[in-house]
Structures are given as structure tokens and as C-alpha cells.
């Protein structure tokens, strides 16, 4: 049957159908701008503007932001949406996920945003991105979830990204990505671009990962992760020739901590690790990713080349605080 037109002057659509204003009003007061007071002034062609965004996740003044915004700063200013500025009392960082916690203080409780269920988000779900692109504080853009579970992008060591298409630019880093319910489901961390500007591919650390990392940083000051107690470096030409390997055919162990799982597994300085837990490792970054992804307390296979001879051993990673 033919549709019946609505009568003139009929009821309008509910506001939450045609405007995000109610969500913005709930979230915006908890969005902050973070600026390093002692950070060196960036060069004109430096994509890092020297400031970024963050979001309050607890009324006691706990701000979640990106590690790359605070890593080089010894002092920070945190400015709220209402214009008040607070000095950071404490900074706790996790470089492997590019997340950090900044603590500010005030007798009154701060506005904050609760974590939502990022695992329940699906491609096509609407999202809002908050932040201060190019210093334009109080900005918000809208889009959809483009994909979930993006990994192996070589952005961070530990990765679980939500890809989205809401416009974000320099200054948005550390800003919240929220659902239409106003819940925190991600933290803007990076963009994929060939121009240096936004090209429709934003990446936010998933709320699930951010929530877990934030909890560890708040409770322990660092994140607990598997470790085997070794340091590695690139396989240079001399080490490759000595071990009858091609350049990039593994990583060289440069340090073994005493009484560590690595020492117990007969790993030594100068050994070349080619495979860890079934994964080929060609760079220190790949080795690190393989170790932190391994199950703590369970032995995993490691293929090692020593003086040109390959052998296999088993190492049992132990969970320990990964201090930045």
C-alpha cells in the first residue's frame, strides 16, 4: 500500500534521533587538554603539536591519555572544558600500548566518563570522537566503527585498535571515542595517512585494552606482562655471517638477566633467536610482541642459532611489572 504522509505540523523526531547534543553535553565536561610545560618547542614540520587530549575516567582526577603525549615531559598542565587548569601530580606510562595515566587534584569531584563495552561495538555502529584538533578545544566529530580488532599495524607493541572514520587530526590524540550512549569505547591514538592529515582512517586503542591497562597503572604503577629476562638487538651483517644466516634472519641476544627464565633456558649473549613460540622473529619489535603475547607460566619453544648451529630450547615466561 502507498505510504500515508504525516500530517502537517505533526510531531517531530525525538531529539536523540537527529542530534548528538545530549551525548556531547554528558561527555564534553570530562574531556581535557594536556600540554607539556617543559617539552621542547616542536619544529614547524613536526607533526606533534606539543599538546593533546585526554579524558577523566574517575571523579578523583584520573585522566587517561596517550603515552606519546607525556613521555618527554617532566611537568604537565591539564585544562578542563570549563577552563580550569591543574598541574599533573603524577604520571604513569605504558609505552607498549601508548597509554598513560595523569593524576590531578581538587577537593571537589571531577566530571568523568565511564567505560563501555568495546567488544559489543560492531562495524557500522555510530561513534563520536572528542579532542582538540589543531588546538580547537571542545571539538567533536561523528562517524562509524569501520572495523574492530586491528592488530599487527606496527603502531604499538601491544595492539587492539578500533578503526573509525570520524575526523581526527593532530591534537585529537588521547581524546575519547564514545558510543552514542556516551560510554568510553576507545582512546584515539593514531591515524593512517599518506598526506599527514586525516584521510578517513582513525585508530583508537580499544576500551577493553585501555580499561585493563589503566587499572594496572592505577593499582601497580605499571602493567604486568610476560617476560623472559633477555634484551635483544638487530642482527647485523657480522653476526649474520658468523651464524650462517641472512641479515634479518633473527635477533641477537644482548643481555640475559641472572636467574631469569632466559638463563634457565640456556640462552646466552650472542645467541640468535630465529623463532619464538612458533613465530619467526626478524626485529626486536617482533621479538617483544611475541614475548608479551606468550602465556605466562607455560613453556614455549624457542629456536636459537649459536656459532652457526641451530638448536631448540623451551622457556617459561613469568609475569612481572613492565616498568616504563
Q: Is the pLDDT of residue 169 over 80?
A: yes
Provide CB contacts within 8 A for 141, sequence distance 6+: 128, 129, 166, 167, 168
The two most distant CA atoms of the chain are separated, in Å, by 86
pLDDT in tens, 268-301: 999 999 999 999 999 999 999 999 999 999 999 9
CA–centroid distance for 293 within its chain: 15
Provide CB contacts within 8 A for 212, sequence distance 6+: none
Average pLDDT value for residue range 128-151? 94
What pTM does this model have? 0.84
Task: Identify the pLDDT of residue 44.
Answer: 36
Rounded percentage of the chain residues whose pLDDT exceeds 90? 79
Strands (E), 151-278: 161-164, 176-179, 184-191, 202-206, 223-227, 230-234, 251-256, 272-276
Provide CB contacts within 8 A for 2, sequence distance 6+: none
Strands (E), 46-131: 51-58, 62-66, 76-79, 85-87, 90-94, 99-103, 126-131
- Tell me the three cell numbers of residue 42: 616542536
194: number of Cβ within 10 Å: 6
Task: Identify the pLDDT of residue 195.
Answer: 73
List, by residue number, the catalytic residues.
68, 98, 173
| φ, ψ (nearest 5 deg) of residue 217 | -65, -40
- By residue count, the chain amounts to 324
pLDDT in tens, 189-232: 988 877 777 888 999 999 999 999 999 999 999 999 999 999 99
pLDDT in tens, 237-263: 999 999 999 888 999 999 999 999 999
Instruction: Give 318's pLDDT tier (boundaries 50, 70, 90).
Output: very high
Amino acid at each position: 500500500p502507498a505510504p500515508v504522509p504525516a500530517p502537517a505540523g505533526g510531531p517531530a523526531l525525538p531529539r536523540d534521533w537527529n542530534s548528538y547534543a545530549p551525548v556531547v553535553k554528558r561527555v564534553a565536561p570530562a574531556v581535557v587538554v594536556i600540554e607539556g610545560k617543559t617539552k621542547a618547542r616542536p619544529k614547524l614540520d613536526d607533526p606533534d603539536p606539543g599538546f593533546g587530549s585526554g579524558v577523566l575516567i574517575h571523579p578523583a582526577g584520573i585522566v587517561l591519555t596517550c603515552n606519546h603525549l607525556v613521555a618527554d615531559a617532566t611537568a604537565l598542565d591539564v585544562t578542563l572544558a570549563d577552563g580550569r587548569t591543574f598541574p599533573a601530580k603524577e604520571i604513569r606510562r605504558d609505552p607498549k600500548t601508548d597509554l598513560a595515566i595523569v593524576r590531578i587534584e581538587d577537593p571537589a569531584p571531577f566530571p568523568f566518563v565511564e567505560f563501555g563495552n568495546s567488544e559489543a561495538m560492531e562495524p557500522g555502529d555510530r561513534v563520536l570522537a572528542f579532542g582538540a584538533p589543531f588546538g580547537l578545544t571542545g571539538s567533536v566529530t561523528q562517524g562509524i566503527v569501520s572495523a574492530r580488532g586491528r592488530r599487527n599495524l606496527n603502531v604499538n607493541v601491544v595492539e587492539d585498535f578500533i578503526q573509525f572514520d570520524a575526523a581526527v587530526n593532530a591534537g585529537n590524540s588521547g581524546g575519547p571515542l564514545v558510543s552514542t550512549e556516551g560510554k568510553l569505547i576507545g582512546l584515539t591514538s593514531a591515524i593512517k595517512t599518506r598526506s599527514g592529515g586525516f584521510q578517513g582512517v582513525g585508530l583508537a586503542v580499544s576500551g577493553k585494552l585501555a580499561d585493563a591497562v589503566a587499572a594496572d597503572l592505577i593499582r601497580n604503577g605499571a602493567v604486568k606482562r610476560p617476560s623472559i629476562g633477555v634484551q635483544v638487538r638487530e642482527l647485523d651483517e657480522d653476526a649474520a655471517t658468523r651464524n650462517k644466516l641472512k641479515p634479518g634472519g633473527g635477533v641477537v641476544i644482548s643481555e640475559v638477566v641472572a636467574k631469569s627464565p632466559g638463563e634457565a633456558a640456556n640462552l646466552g649473549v650472542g645467541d640468535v633467536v630465529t623463532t619464538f613460540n612458533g613465530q619467526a622473529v626478524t626485529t626486536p619489535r617482533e621479538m617483544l610482541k611475541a614475548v608479551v603475547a606468550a602465556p605466562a607460566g607455560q613453556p614455549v619453544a624457542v629456536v636459537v642459532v649459536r656459532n652457526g648451529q641451530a638448536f631448540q630450547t623451551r622457556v617459561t615466561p613469568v609475569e612481572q611489572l613492565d616498568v616504563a
